[in-house]
Structure 1
Amino acid sequence: MLQALGGTVPPNTDHAVSVSLPTWRTNVGYEEGEDWVMTKMKCGYPRFFVHPIIQKLAQEIVRRVGDLNLETATLFASIKTARICHSFLLGKIPAEQAHKVRIVNFVPSPHTEAGSTAVTSTLSCVIYPNEYASIAKQVWQHSGNGISSRRGEFCLGALEDGFLVEDKGSATAELISQRPCKGPRRYQAKNGARKGSIGDSPPRGNEDGRDYAQFIEERFGRNLSTSLANQAKLAVRKRIAGVLTADVELPEALETASSEGRVAGISEDDVLLYPSGMSAIFNAHQTLLATRGELPSICFGFPYTDTLKILQKWGPGCVFYGHGSSEDLDDLESRLKAGERFLGLFTEAPGNPLLKTPDLKRIRALADQYNFAVVVDETISNFININVLHLADIVVSSLTKIFSGDSNVMGGSAVLNPHGQYYAALKKSYDRDFEDIYWAEDAVFLERNSRDFISRIDKINSTSENITAMLKESPLVKNVYYPKYSPTKPFYDGLRNPNGGYGGLFSVTFHTTDEAIAFFDTLEVLKGPSLGTNFTLSSPYVLLAHYGELDWARSFNVDPDLVRVSVGLEEVPDLRARVQRALDAVQNVRK
């Protein structure tokens, strides 16, 4: 069962979202950056670990337009997202070094099919001195706007075959590139001499686009068209709006709809797709700043780490209520009564990793009275189990998780409440500023993966209740954190849909670190970051998310030795047997 250190999770998956860190020690080694771990990493969670394909593409970009010995590149799908990184870098480095940070854009060459439905991609590259890589990585991690590995794979092939070229203004329009570049493979002679290349006269076949069509066919094994990708995105948006609940093929999905969604009057037009869940949160914050002005935010409850970092590093900062308690709301109300004003309150329902649910009804009442927006991250439980949209202005989610389930594609969504107090203003801002940078092939995978997500969630809910009850009964266990057993259960139940459950994520703690290690190391499931997978997945979550701030996490009652488990689709007897063997290992340590 144990996957080798550094292998993809799931195994043998080129675009896997998780990576195997199979023991407690390997997780510590990863956080410490130890060579025996890092040299074996074939992938990682995409916002924390740049996929090898993207690394290769970045190196090729720098080789062509920079200095490989001195410079590094961070890659984005649009000029707008690249400028966010560029601006962040300039704000962190000495002013006299600013000229060394630049954006280089790559665009489809005229050899592609102009006006056709064939997929193309632009690429905006922020290039900077190597010593600033850690600063750029913050943007990659926090914003979630970086390119996906599938887009990276496509762009690398297009670059090598001459279908993606540096944008040099008028020079690009004339299809002139001074840098050596291979032409499309079909026009290369067997002995290596080029019969036709970008920079020479174009191969004659390019005049009618046949070569690019072949390129697409070779890359995808079929013609992946923009129309197919747009249909997939539409079906996904309809599912997220709640107006499509049937498990149907794509053509039927575009025709099938119920009369009601998550709230009355909602449509797929109120759903926006992003390359990751974090990108949805980042852009929700950016949109609120553009709509309501430069006001500080509120981060309510112990959050997923990057949400707090976004609110702290962009805009005028935030007030952090890490306990998410009624006393915290009392303090917030006293601030509001004293005249403090806020942009919005960002929270999770439930939170990660303690699975506590905020008092959203009270938060909504305060927001209405004192004019701030409410942004709720529903990733942990998802909208099949709970409905928070009527209490929020924007609901964000990581589609990478249970909505997809297969752990092989990233995605995120933001849903606007059509009855929210800021709906008209937010809709106007999104209509003006939103750009669709969700990669075509990722959308196709996400749509296919999500067709059966309702039935998957039902099974995972049931299994999770069974396993958490088993752990609650064990005297070896210190605490089980799960919405059903949380002191905030009444708040969760107030949000539950008629057939909704308590989700597939729980956390467990033990009485000593050695016991926690024994449980984690013995538990026969895949081990790595992420959650919401179709297979059970576990991690020492606090070590991974807060390794450099464990005392800070402990101050909010988050145990550094906590083990987090995301339940999959395994049969209950099988999973109970695995958990029992892990508990037996805890008992042996106690002896």
Structure 2
Amino acid sequence: MTVKPITTPLGHSLPPHTPHALTVHLPGWDTFIRLRDGDQEIGKQLKSMYPRFSPLSCVKELGIKLLTHLSFAYPESESDISPTTHGCLPFTTPDAFSLAAAHCISHHRADEHRYSDSDVSKVEFRVVEFWGVPLVPNSAADATATANGTKTATATDKVRLYLVIYPLPKAKGIMGVWTNPGIGISTRLAEVLLPFVPTSSDGDGDSSSPEAEQGGRDMKVLDWKAKGSDFISGTPIKEDIPEPTYLPESDAHEKLRERIVALCQRMPRDVELASRLTTKDVFLYTTGMAAVFRLQEAFLNAGRRGPVVALGAVFHSTFHLFEELEGTTTTNGEEGFKHFGECEDSDKVMDQLEEYAKGLKQKGRKVGYVFVEFPSNPLVVSVDLGRLRKIADEYDFPVVVDDTVGSFCNLDVLPVADVVVSSLTKTFSGYADVMAGSVLLSPSSRYYSLLSSTLTTTHHNALSPSDAAHLLSNSTSYLARSDTHNRNAQKLASFLHTYSTTHQPPRVISRVLYPSIPSTTSSTTGTGYYQQYMRSSTAPAPTGPPYDEMEGNDFFTPGFGCLLSIDFSSKRVAKAFYDHLHVHQGPHIGAHLTITMPFNDLLWGAEERERKYHAGYGAVPEQVRVSVGLEEWEDLKEVFEEALKFAEEEAVKEAAC
């Protein structure tokens, strides 16, 4: 078979394209780097992008319409707001205001992006209110009508948005408040709200209009505004913010919780523990990062104010979030974020963690909690969770496990975790067109009562009913898709590992990182620790509702997940391979199609200090991350074989230099 090039244009999403696509195709290593470094020519070609990175699609359109409306409805505004001079970040929660103000002046911002006192005074906060929003369809017919824009709205659905308005030249200094906490509105919510924004000829909406009172559609800019500087100086204006409406839940929300519980009860390692799970132990969020962010808030609200400790490679937004969250970060680093990066020698890192916890105890302090990805992204390292649990019990700190990469159809970490967080955006959804996240509390945790009461009190729904419904539909095939992901990824990892160990010099691949492949630096890391927490593959598949609704329930076999990484002998060889690899190239994992990216060079390569730090524990720039899709295995194999030929040629040239 002749390998077919990818025909998706640069800047477009993986097919099929929708306004809610999460992916973008960025062919070629240097395309990523140009985008990272701010190349406007690449930026102008983006028709799609991961929505949590920056507002695009319907969210961007909504922001432009709101700014246009503000410029016409309030021409006397001293800030002279317009879409040509300002950007708009819409949220459903007012805490976005304080987060934005703190973020843009933080010492973590680069000098050229950090806001001065003058800059932060130019950030404006506004609140807008929508009435009669058709958020929750009452029937299948209503759902169809809503999608077509014909459903009659009801006055019971009211939505308030909190707008962070900033000068466009200073976008880089404030965009992290959208990216890292992950609490911005979704494209589906924006799509529903777009028709409500008045055009310039409509004037402002009127809260006292008969149409609003009788259930018509309307929008109003509330009589409240503030500047970023108001939230830094500590003036009382922060206490006067209009109360949030949040979003109503639908049947889909509860069915999602039921499905997550059922999956966690499917072939568990601890039957008794799994049987105690209920939907009250599951909390849903707009993104995986929002789940991490709100859980961090819950720990602070519950009094866990010690340092957050992260083990190994963690998702870059998680890393940045832990660096900056109020209450965990201090300038001296002692009582902030502690990172143990090198985890391939699990005994060594557990010794270091134990010594660290012991040192805190001697000072009368405790670890706030330990956060670990199992396995990690992108290094796919699995640590010794059993020993981690023992250390946590001895020194009294919670263990939070992010199982996104392995995914809870394959793994059961509940026996050792106090909390499990998951990005439902990835394989659970599977089609790269909806975002969500979850927090799952373990009923056996000594912190269960504390966290359950805190989250129950503080959790407010921000996941739109349309997103919940779409995620519920997508996840029906979760088990069937995951079965294919597991088989394809394991076959690819085995093929590449065999190639790396048998190929004649000069060397092309240094190592393949995947849980089924033994680690090159430690015989106890990887397969052994991962397999300890795999779900049973021999127990009979459960039957009855809700399992009968899950495609693949009768044949799914737990495996090692969809993610693997490849370390090449040099960055030059890695680029030769990557630039001739005919799969989609962009940020995301768990999609229906294979997608790759130079993860470390993109995210850590711009700044020398960061590059060296992360390379020190294995996140090297010559690594390629691969999220394996649902293609036919033989087709995938030929694509990778073809790319390896170019890598071999480059390795020979490099050796001759």
Cα distance, 1:146 vs. partner? Answer: 0.9
Are the equivalent residues in 1 in contact too, given 2:132–2:153 (CA < 8 A)?
no
Structure 1: distance between partners of 2:207 and 2:54: 38
2:299 equivalent to 1:288: yes
Counterpart secondary structure, 1:514 = helix
1:105 to 1:207, Cα distance in 2 relative to 1, 3 A: closer
Output the aligned Cα RMSD. Answer: 2.8
Structure-2 residue corresponding to 1:275: 286
Alpha-carbon contact 1:284-1:414 (below 8 Å) kept: yes
Moved more, 346-355 or 491-500: 491-500
Match of 1:540? 598
Which stretch shows the higher mean deviation, 266-275 or 331-340? 331-340
Q: CA 1:553–1:308 in 2, change beyond 3 Å: closer, same or farther?
A: same
Answering whether residue 338 of structure 2 is matched by residue 319 of structure 1, we say: yes
Q: Aligned equivalents of 1:372 and 1:106: distance in 2? A: 41
In 1, the alpha carbon distance for the partners of 2:405 and 2:598 equals 17
Give 1:127's aligned amino acid: I
Shift of residue 208 of structure 1? 4.7
Amino acid in the other structure paired with 2:592: N
Pick from 505, 510, 513: which aligns with 2:571?
513
For 2:486 and 2:129, the matched residues in 1 are separated by 46
Equivalent pair of 1:2/1:526 in contact (CA under 8 Å): no
The two structures have a TM-score, normalised by structure 1, of: 0.84
Counterpart among 405, 417, 426 of residue 430 in structure 2: 405
In the TM superposition, residue 528 of structure 1 has moved relative to its aligned partner by 0.7
Q: Deviations over 1:262-318 (max 9, x none)?
A: 723001111111111011111111111111242211011121111121111112221
Match of 1:479 in 2: 511
| Structure 2 gap ranges (5+) | 1-5, 71-78, 108-114, 136-151, 219-246, 329-335, 520-524, 538-557, 653-657
Matching of residues 225-304 of structure 1 within 5 Å? 230-242=250-262, 263-304=274-315
- Alpha-carbon distance in structure 2 between the residues aligned to 1:461 and 1:52: 32
2:531 to 490, 493, 497: 493
CA distance in 1, matches of 2:324, 2:293: 11
When residues 112 and 336 of structure 1 are mapped into structure 2, their CA distance, relative to the original with a 3 A threshold, is closer
Tell me if structure 2 keeps the 8 A contact 1:6–1:40. yes
Which residue of structure 1 lines up, in the alignment, with residue 48 of structure 2? Answer: 43
**How far apart are 1:420 and its partner, in Å?**
0.7
Change (3 A) 1:49 1:568: same
| Paired position in structure 1 for 2:140 | none
| 1:242/1:260 contact within 8 Å kept | no
Distance 1:200 1:469 in 2: 63
Aligned to 1:332: 353
Match of 2:637 in 1: 576
Give the Cα separation in 2 of the matches to 1:121 and 1:242.
32
Aligned to 2:622: 561
Once the two structures are superposed, residues 163-188 of structure 1 have per-residue CA deviations (whole angstroms, 9 ceiling, x without a partner) of: xxxxxxxxxxxxxxxxx6628xxxxx
Q: Are the aligned partners of 2:22 and 2:50 in contact in 1 as well (CA < 8 Å)?
A: yes
Task: Give yes or no for contact 2:427–2:478 (8 Å, CA) kept in 1.
Answer: yes
User: What is residue 130 of structure 2 aligned with on the other side?
Assistant: 108
- How far does residue 521 in structure 1 lie from its aligned partner after superposition? 1.8
Q: What is the deviation of 1:536?
A: 0.9
Displacement of 1:100 in angstroms is: 4.0
Decide whether aligned partners of structure 1 residues 200 and 295 sit closer, same or farther in structure 2, where only a CA change above 3 A counts. closer
Question: Whole-Å Cα distance in 2 between the matches of residues 433 and 283 of structure 1?
Answer: 9
1:13 Cα deviation (Å)?
2.1
Alignment pair present for 1:357 and 2:382: yes
In the TM superposition, residue 203 of structure 1 has moved relative to its aligned partner by 7.4
> Aligned-pair distance for 1:207?
6.4
Q: Which residue of 1 aligns with 2:587?
A: 529
Question: Which segments of 5 or more consecutive residues in structure 1 lack a partner in the other structure?
Answer: 162-179, 184-196, 213-225, 247-258
Q: Deviations over 1:494-532 (max 9, x none)?
A: 111112211111011222323212221222211110100
Instruction: After TM superposition, list the pairs within 5 Å mapping 1:6-25 onto structure 2.
Output: 6-25=11-30
Residue 193 of structure 1: aligned partner: none
2:163 partner SS: strand
Are the structure 2 counterparts of residues 2 and 509 from structure 1 closer, same or farther at C-alpha, using a change threshold of 3 Å? Answer: farther
Contact 1:241 1:262 (C-alpha < 8 Å) held by counterparts: no
In the alignment, the residues of structure 1 paired with residue 447 and residue 589 of structure 2 have an alpha-carbon distance, to the nearest angstrom, of 32
Among 348, 373, 391, the alignment partner of 1:348 is 373
How many correspondences in the alignment? 533
- 2:181–2:290 contact (8 Å) kept in structure 1: yes
Query: Structure 1 vs Structure 2: percent identity of aligned residues?
Result: 29
Check 1:447–1:323 CA distance in 2 against 1; reply closer, same or farther (3 A cut). same
**TM-score in terms of structure 2 length:** 0.76
| Corresponding residue for residue 441 of structure 1 | 466
Shift of 1:210: 6.5
Mean CA deviation greater in 68-77 or 502-511: 68-77
Distance between the aligned counterparts of 1:507 and 1:391, measured in 2? Answer: 26
Comparing both structures, which one devotes a greater share of its residues to helix?
Answer: 1
Q: Which amino acid aligns with 1:470?
A: F
Which residue, out of 444, 456, 465, partners 2:481? 456
Could you give the per-residue CA deviations for residues 392-425 of structure 1, whole angstroms, max 9, x where no partner exists? 1111111110000100111111111111111101
SS in 2 for 1:421: coil
Pick the aligned partner of 2:319 from 289, 299, 308.
Answer: 308
Name which of 137, 141, 155 aligns with 2:179.
141
Tell me the SS of whatever aligns to 2:95: helix
Tell me, yes or no, if the aligned pair for 2:314 and 2:373 is still in contact at 8 Å.
yes
Counterpart AA for 1:48: F
Distance 1:6 1:111 in 2: 32
CA drift of 1:81 comes to 3.9
Tell me if structure 2 keeps the 8 A contact 1:86–1:126.
no
Q: Which moved more, 1:329-338 or 1:129-138?
A: 129-138
Distance 1:512 1:130, change over 3 A: closer
For 1:143, what is the secondary structure of its paired residue?
A: coil
**How far apart, CA to CA, are the structure 2 residues paired with 1:384 and 1:366?**
27
In 2, distance between residues paired with 1:201 and 1:506?
Answer: 57
Q: Which amino acid aligns with 2:178?
A: W
Query: Is residue 9–residue 528 contact of structure 1 (8 Å, CA) maintained in 2?
Result: no
